[in-house]
Amino acid sequence: MPGVTVKDVNQQEFVRALAAFLKKSGKLKVPEWADTVKLAKHKELAPYDENWFYTRAASTARHLYLRGGAGVGSMAKVYGGR
């Protein structure tokens, strides 16, 4: 019987669980400027979720895992708002 992979799990549930793990483990430091930044140039306000940094890190990790050689261009396309 094959195991469960990242592709088999619901994307939102996986990102939430990975973000919670990153926050709980304490291995990912949140930069000081994280509370004053907006997520894209088309946004007007900072994110409402105080754990947005962990969610973005989890989403980025999932994206890189699924698309092995993703570069700056593909990341800008996904997270840049164009």
Give 21-56 pLDDT, tens digit per residue: 999 999 999 988 888 888 777 788 888 888 999 999
User: Into how many domains does the chain fold?
Assistant: 1
Q: Is the entire prediction scored with pTM above 0.95?
A: no
At 79, is the pLDDT very low, low, confident or very high (cuts 50, 70, 90)? Answer: confident
Pair 59, 15: CB distance under 8 Å: yes
Question: CA 60 to CA 43: how far, in whole Å?
Answer: 19
- Domain residues for the domain of 57 are 51-82
Tell me what the mean pLDDT of segment 56-72 comes to: 86
* Structural domain contains residue 64: yes
Contact present, 42 and 81 (Cβ < 8 Å): yes
Residue 82 lies in a domain: yes
Cα 38 from chain centroid?
A: 14
5 in a structural domain: no
In the chain, % helix, strand, coil (3-state, to 5) comes to: 55, 0, 45
- Per DSSP, the three-state class of 33 is helix
